[in-house]
């Protein structure tokens, strides 16, 4: 068979782009060679609808072992009692949960997308906002931090069946204990979507949602540094959270609803090559090297955040507890679109992002979101974060100066050659 040189040449071009530049998109990371290797294996040939030991196809003996390993490693990593590792993405995981525990038209309460939430937490353009009656909470304008008293008042008013916490652009830790108390008051289920800080949570650097939340979802490719995919977890059988008459401590009926939400509810055959890569990533995340890594991710984020504050940038909530920061660019008379377009010419990748109480459209935005997970994977430390802040600031202040941006790009490319990505 003739080799498709056009596609493979483009893959090499993308590899070079990743190696040459500074990657600051908070939802991106660099998977290890063995994670990537697992995704390109013959496991992609196997259909395996169902669960290990309960498949609808024959010949699943080997993939059953692989998926079981992924499940057991996920449970060990997060201290979970049950996990489903089949969701193709975090959005699919959230869709499966909602299908399992909600009926169309039920009320949900999520974190507002424009304040840092996620599309699947009730956005009107997403299934979660189209199928369910979505209500929202956000951050305080003065502090950029969630006011849990306001969350409680909103929950009491709207009486949601499902409350959702977690974010795609919120830099502070979550008070899951308080949220659970609110959920209990209104008779709601509590779902934590920890897609961004999952790696920090797994290694004890942030509050543990599994202590209080009925259900936890996550992606596997951000701070967990695995393949693109999703997962659902539970730790305990809380008092009849689905209104089922199940004895305390029996997870079977509750988790069967969630399993059904994944398949056949929202997906067909699982991607066993990706599940194998998830298993590898979970094992990597249990290592001492990974613990050192997430500690450095958090240190780097705090240093970078402060560096931008010192340069006069408005960092929402004035800092960060995790791996990311959200910056309001209006004090610098810049839009997120201008920042993104200018920085890409300097081989610095960020994403434009709405900020709380934004006055611009989602296609322009007033802010940018930055994260440290990817560059920490490449070996950069605290002093390097100060240099990155200098380069970003220089590029932003010269975002229309093509020659200046070209000079910054050369500096970036030369510097990044000292941090090889895939040797």
Q: Which residues are annotated as a binding site for (6S)-5,6,7,8-tetrahydrofolate?
A: 113, 117-119, 361-363
228 is catalytic: yes
Q: Which residues pair with 146 in a beta bridge?
A: 139
Answer for the pair 357, 318: CB distance below 8 angstroms, yes or no. no
The arrangement of strands across the sheet holding 367-371 comes to: 314-315, 324-328, 367-371, 351-353
Q: Are 301 and 324 in contact (CB under 8 A)?
A: yes
Q: How far apart are CA 72 and CA 82, in angstroms?
A: 9
Q: Which residue out of 120, 219, 376, 377 is catalytically annotated? A: 219
Catalytic residue chosen out of the listed positions 19, 20, 28, 47: 47
Exactly one of 133, 228, 299, 387 is catalytic; which is it?
A: 228
Alpha carbon distances (Å) from 154 to 97, 126, 135, 180, 415? 22, 22, 8, 14, 49
Say whether 170 is catalytic. Answer: no
**Closest Cα partner for 323 from 300, 306, 340?**
300
Helices 288-310 & 382-397 angle (0-180, nearest 10): 40
Residues flagged as binding site = 113, 117-119, 361-363
Q: Of all residues in the chain, what percent are helix, strand and coil, respectively (each to 5)? A: 45, 15, 40
Contact 120, 127 (CB under 8 A): yes
* 369 catalytic residue (yes or no): no
Instruction: Tell me if residue 225 is catalytic.
Output: no
C-alpha angle with apex 137: 135 to 142, nearest 5 degrees?
150
> What are the CA-CA distances from residue 194 to residues 117, 146, 202, 336, 346 (Å)?
11, 16, 10, 25, 31
The reply to whether 384 belongs to the active site is no
Sign of CA dihedral 272, 274, 276, 278: negative
Q: Which of 28, 49, 208, 411 is catalytic?
A: 49
Catalytic residue among 23, 67, 193, 237: 193
| 400 classed as catalytic | no
Hey, which residues are catalytic here? 47, 49, 193, 219, 222, 228
């Amino acid at each position: 068979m003739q080799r498709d040189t056009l596609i493979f040449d483009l893959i090499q071009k993308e590899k070079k782009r990743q190696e040459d530049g500074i990657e600051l998109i908070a939802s991106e990371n660099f998977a290890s060679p063995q994670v990537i290797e697992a995704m390109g294996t013959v496991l992609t040939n196997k259909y395996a609808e169902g669960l290990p030991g309960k498949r609808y196809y024959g010949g699943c003996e080997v993939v059953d072992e692989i998926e079981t390993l992924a499940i057991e490693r996920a449970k060990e990593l997060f201290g979970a009692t049950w996990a489903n590792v089949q969701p193709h993405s975090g959005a699919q995981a959230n869709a499966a949960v909602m299908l399992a525990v909600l009926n169309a038209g039920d009320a949900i309460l999520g974190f507002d997308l424009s304040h840092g939430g996620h599309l699947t937490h009730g956005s009107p353009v997403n299934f979660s906002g189209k199928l369910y009656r979505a209500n929202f909470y956000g951050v305080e304008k003065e502090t950029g931090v969630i006011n849990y008293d306001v969350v409680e008042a909103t929950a009491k008013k709207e009486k949601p069946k499902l409350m959702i916490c977690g974010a795609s652009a919120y830099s502070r830790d979550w008070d899951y204990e308080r949220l659970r108390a609110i959920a209990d008051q209104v008779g709601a289920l509590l779902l934590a979507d920890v897609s961004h800080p999952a790696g920090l949570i797994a290694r004890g650097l942030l509050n543990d949602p599994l202590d209080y939340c009925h259900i936890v979802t996550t992606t596997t490719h951000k701070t967990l540094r695995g393949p693109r995919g999703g997962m659902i977890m539970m730790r305990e059988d809380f008092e009849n959270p689905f209104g089922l008459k199940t004895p305390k401590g029996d997870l079977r009926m509750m988790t069967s609803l969630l399993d059904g939400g994944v398949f056949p509810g929202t997906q067909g055959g699982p991607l066993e090559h990706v599940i194998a890569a998830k298993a590898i990533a979970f094992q990597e995340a249990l290592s001492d090297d990974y613990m050192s890594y997430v500690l450095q991710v958090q240190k780097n984020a705090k240093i970078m955040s402060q560096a931008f504050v010192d340069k006069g940038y408005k960092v929402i909530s004035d800092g960060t507890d995790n791996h990311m920061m959200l910056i309001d660019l209006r004090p610098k008379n810049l839009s997120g679109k201008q920042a993104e377009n200018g920085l890409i010419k300097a081989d610095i990748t960020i994403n434009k992002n709405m900020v709380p109480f934004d006055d611009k459209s989602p296609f322009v935005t007033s802010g940018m979101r930055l994260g440290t997970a990817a560059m920490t994977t490449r070996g950069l430390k605290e002093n390097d974060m100060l240099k990155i802040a200098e380069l970003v600031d220089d590029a932003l202040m010269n975002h229309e100066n093509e020659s200046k941006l070209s000079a910054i790009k050369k500096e970036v490319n030369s510097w990044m050659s000292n941090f090889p990505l895939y040797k």
